């Protein structure tokens, strides 16, 4: 019999607040967390806004490793993982350490190390420390999480750019289904990155003031930072230990546009495939979907092609099924984005709330229009579909639902 | 080992490589026999931060145009070119060239680590010193770790999945496990599973910072299981295998090179080899269990040992704990390839397939567990003379600097 995988712990650090409760309050209030960037001087750019984690210091969560020898993306991942573990109510006896895995996604990895190094090169003609550089490789994110939480199951990083969170989440599900772990802490993490900002700036993709997904006047995406972690475990185990079950992870789809290194396929070919496969793997029909958490970056190209894909997939229901993009509030937290959106979907299901799309003023006929405008709506969410798209055409969709007994 | 073949077995039907041991199976086999692969000075990469020299296991005489054509090469970094080259060679080897699968059923899973570092570093430096308008938009995708896989997906039209996995020295063994899972679950019909890494000033700097490179004037370098070895010979290249379900491979009349029977992974970091070895031992035992193999049924262990004694000892301890009295031949092909990081597991798989085909483990890369000797590196002896192998289960292992341990069981020969 197929194992049922449920979500029982949530950790998040985001521009609209950190910790499950604060974050969810931010979602319910329609908080917009983007604004002038403080991490680096933006004077050289044409735009200056982004989203940063301001209400929590991830270093407070680093207790075993030397904080100065690891980058901020790892700090954020450790903090999110510890929040999720604590939220799950784990106190150490639930599983053997070697039966708990870690899987994180990231876009830029620890590019703060690159940027610290550039600053030192330019200002002091020297490089950043060996100890810091030794922890540049992407998988130092998951190894640091495993060391801090004393976990000995599979520990992996899936750096599939802006779809990385969903890739990590879906691989966690596979690890449990295949018996390689009893529980996995999955998620995504990316610190505010100047190199990333330079990339999107050069592509002319950054909005000057605010992010407005699906709005006719949308002007682009917003580079942000954040991290999220979710505790995945088997339904029977979660019930047996009396855990709070936020939602069930029912299925996922992977695909690739195989079209262009940075632009989406104009008809959303990969997006359709990914959504179809997520539905198929979960045994859920399109008409059963109660909410779509869109990738919705706020760029002309993304929102139009994602809308085209949703229209193809959902036909006449495309303008009835509620859709939102929380990137209006958070900006695009890169590899963390789909993990934070997964946290949001789990809480949307748990509380029966549709998250809003803020900054939404004028519908775009090229886009889906039922975008839960500017305020939450109270409505049961039985099945939520969450899309994530990335450079290189990497695409992943996850499907969650109520964990009915 | 009696075993019924199943339709859903995951089989290898093609292998391609671009490496210090050549571009194809013939070159690789010759290299394995002679025990030599290409080496060159890395002075140009180290020059930015050191006036000393390093020796690297580099790709020799790489000319991408005949294989890849001219289009798009200009903005593709060396690693992406190696990966595309190895992939086209693997497709040719599998008989799929000119008869490609439906794009919706073709997937890509790549193990790699430092792919985005060079371009991201240049982007940031240029932005700060000249201004952000001076970076090239064509370099944008190269700032990301998934860029080699992304170029490949576009090139071969693979839409079923496009996953990049970074777990350091375990990356491409983990990619094999991930790919086999997707095939078993019917998420793809054919998968190109690969590993790739390129040497450049930035990757060499990271290795230098990890303190895994030999000190100046070291005599022994890159010698697996050798307590005197002073560290890695850093390597580069790509290796790719075509994976399919047995029923599909048989239906199209493909030649089957081997089978991926199991994968497992575990984690333990820290300063002590014995602690780290418990995790590798666990991964090895789990993968043997999954494959339904007893330790005495392992025909060859393919280790990731690379000449960094602290981590080679982890493998020596774990292999000894599992295989102790079985006098199992041990292959350490990284003595040839150097440490190619993300590509290491797949290059070792290519070596295992070549050895499985020839039935001989050459002296140059062969080792024996000496159960009479003390535990640890001392218990690994160099093999004298070539050793005949029976076909059967090949156990692949890898242990990473950051604490990951992985194992893959293949059936070869």
CA proximity to B286, closest of A100, A179, A101: A179
Q: How confident is residue A262, by pLDDT bands cut at 50, 70 and 90?
A: confident
**CA B330 to CA B319: how far, in whole Å?**
9
Interface touch B159/A257, C-beta < 8 Å? yes
* A162 included as an active-site residue: yes
B139 to chain A: closest CA residue: A199
From the list A75, A103, A162, A211, the catalytic residue is: A162
Segment B82-85 long-range contacts (CB within 8 Å, at least 24 positions apart): B82/B18, B82/B196, B82/B198, B82/B236, B82/B237, B82/B238, B83/B110, B83/B112, B83/B148, B83/B149, B83/B151, B83/B152, B83/B194, B83/B196, B83/B238, B83/B240, B84/B148, B84/B151, B84/B152, B84/B155, B85/B16, B85/B18, B85/B23, B85/B238
Q: What ipTM was reported for this prediction?
A: 0.97
Per residue in B79-125, pLDDT (tens digit) is 999 999 999 999 999 999 999 999 999 999 999 999 999 999 999 99
Interface touch B116/A203, C-beta < 8 Å? no
pTM of the model: 0.98
Q: Are strands B360-361 and A323-324 parallel, antiparallel or unpaired?
A: unpaired
Q: Say if A257 is an interface residue toward chain B (CB within 8 Å).
A: yes
Check residue A1 and give its pLDDT. Answer: 58
Check residue B1 and give its pLDDT. Answer: 44
* A155, A203, A258: residue with CB nearest B267: A155
The shortest C-alpha distance from A170 to chain B (Å) reads 11
Q: Mean pLDDT in chain A?
A: 97
* A295 included as an active-site residue: yes
From the list A75, A201, A265, A295, the catalytic residue is: A295
Interface touch A44/B125, C-beta < 8 Å? no
Mean pLDDT, 10 residues at a time, chain B of 413 residues: 79 97 91 95 92 94 94 93 98 96 98 96 97 95 95 97 98 98 97 98 97 94 97 98 98 96 97 97 98 95 97 97 91 96 97 93 94 91 93 94 98 82
Interface touch B166/A159, C-beta < 8 Å? yes
What percentage of chain A has pLDDT greater than the value 90? 95
Within 129-188 of A, beta carbons closer than 8 Å to B belong to 130-140, 142-143, 146-147, 151-161, 167, 171, 174, 178, 180
* A332 included as an active-site residue: yes
Query: Can you say how many angstroms the Cα of residue A174 is from the centroid of all Cα atoms in its chain?
Result: 18
């Amino acid at each position: 019999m197929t194992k049922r995988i449920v979500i029982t712990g949530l950790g998040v650090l985001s521009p609209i607040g950190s910790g499950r409760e604060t974050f969810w309050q931010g979602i319910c209030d329609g908080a917009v967390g983007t604004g002038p960037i403080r991490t680096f001087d933006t004077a050289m750019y044409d735009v200056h806004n982004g989203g940063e984690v301001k209400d929590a210091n991830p270093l407070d969560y680093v207790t075993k490793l030397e904080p100065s020898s690891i980058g901020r993306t790892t700090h954020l991942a450790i903090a999110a993982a510890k929040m999720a573990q604590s939220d799950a109510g784990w106190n150490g006896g639930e599983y053997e350490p070697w039966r708990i895995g870690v899987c994180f996604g990231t876009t830029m990895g620890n590019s703060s190390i690159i940027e610290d190094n550039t600053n030192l090169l330019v200002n002091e003609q020297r490089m950043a420390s060996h100890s810091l550089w030794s922890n540049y490789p992407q998988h130092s994110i998951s190894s640091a999480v495993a060391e801090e939480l004393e976990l000995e199951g599979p520990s992996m990083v899936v750096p599939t750019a802006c779809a990385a969170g969903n890739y990590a989440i879906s691989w966690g599900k596979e690890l449990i289904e295949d018996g390689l772990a009893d529980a996995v802490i999955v998620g995504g993490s990316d610190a505010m990155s100047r190199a990333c900002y330079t990339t999107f700036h050069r592509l002319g993709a950054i909005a000057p003031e605010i992010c407005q997904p699906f709005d006719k006047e949308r002007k682009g995406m917003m580079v942000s930072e954040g991290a999220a972690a979710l505790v995945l475990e088997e339904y029977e185990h979660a019930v047996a230990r009396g855990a709070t079950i936020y939602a069930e992870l029912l299925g996922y789809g992977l695909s690739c546009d195989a079209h262009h290194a940075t632009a989406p396929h104009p008809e959303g070919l990969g997006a359709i495939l990914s959504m179809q496969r997520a539905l198929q793997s979960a045994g859920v029909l399109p008409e059963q979907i109660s909410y779509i958490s869109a990738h919705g970056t706020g760029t002309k190209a993304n929102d139009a092609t994602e809308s085209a894909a949703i229209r193809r997939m959902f036909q006449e229901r495309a303008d009835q099924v509620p859709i939102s993009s929380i990137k209006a509030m958070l900006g695009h937290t890169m590899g963390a984005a789909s993990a934070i959106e997964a946290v949001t979907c789990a809480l949307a299901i748990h509380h029966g709330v549709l998250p809003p799309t803020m900054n939404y003023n004028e519908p775009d006929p090229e886009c889906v229009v039922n975008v839960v405008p500017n305020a939450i709506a109270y409505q049961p969410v039985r099945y939520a579909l969450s899309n994530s798209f990335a450079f290189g055409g990497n695409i992943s969709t996850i499907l969650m639902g109520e964990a009915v007994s | 080992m009696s075993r019924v073949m199943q339709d859903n077995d995951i089989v290898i039907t093609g292998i391609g490589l671009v490496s210090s041991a050549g571009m194809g199976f013939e070159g690789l086999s010759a290299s394995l026999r002679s025990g030599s692969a290409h080496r060159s000075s890395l002075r140009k990469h180290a020059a930015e931060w050191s006036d000393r020299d390093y020796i690297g296991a580099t790709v020799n005489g790489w000319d991408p145009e005949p294989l890849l054509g001219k289009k798009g090469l200009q903005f593709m970094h060396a690693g992406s070119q190696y990966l595309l080259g190895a992939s086209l060679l693997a497709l040719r080897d599998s008989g799929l060239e000119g008869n490609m699968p439906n794009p919706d059923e073709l997937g890509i899973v790549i193990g790699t680590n430092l792919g985005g570092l060079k371009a991201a570093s240049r982007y940031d430096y240029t932005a700060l010193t000249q201004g952000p308008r001076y970076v090239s938009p064509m370099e944008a995708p190269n700032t990301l770790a998934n860029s080699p896989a992304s170029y490949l997906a576009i090139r071969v039209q693979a839409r079923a999945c496009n996953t990049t996995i970074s777990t350091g020295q375990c990356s491409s063994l983990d990619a094999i496990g991930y790919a086999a899972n997707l095939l078993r679950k019917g998420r793809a019909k054919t998968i190109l599973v690969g590993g790739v890494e390129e040497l450049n000033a930035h990757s060499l700097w990271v290795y230098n910072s990890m303190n895994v490179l030999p000190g100046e004037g070291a005599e022994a370098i890159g010698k697996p299981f050798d307590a005197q070895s002073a560290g890695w010979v850093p390597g580069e290249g790509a290796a790719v295998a075509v994976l399919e379900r047995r029923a599909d491979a048989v239906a199209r009349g493909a030649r089957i090179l081997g089978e991926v029977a199991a994968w497992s992974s575990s984690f333990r970091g820290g300063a002590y080899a014995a602690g780290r070895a418990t995790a590798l031992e666990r991964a090895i035992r789990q993968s043997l269990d999954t494959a339904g193999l007893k330790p005495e049924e392992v025909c060859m262990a393919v280790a990731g040992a690379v000449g960094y004694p602290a981590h080679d000892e982890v493998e020596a301890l774990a292999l000894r704990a599992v295989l102790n009295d079985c006098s199992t031949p041990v292959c350490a092909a990284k003595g040839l390839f150097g440490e190619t990081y993300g590509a290491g597991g797949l290059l070792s798989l290519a070596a295992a397939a070549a050895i499985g085909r020839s039935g001989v483990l050459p002296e140059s890369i062969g080792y024996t567990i000496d159960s009479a000797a003390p535990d640890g590196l001392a218990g690994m002896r160099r093999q004298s003379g070539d050793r005949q192998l029976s076909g059967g289960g090949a156990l692949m292992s890898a242990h990473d600097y950051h604490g990951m341990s992985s194992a893959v069981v293949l059936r070869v020969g």
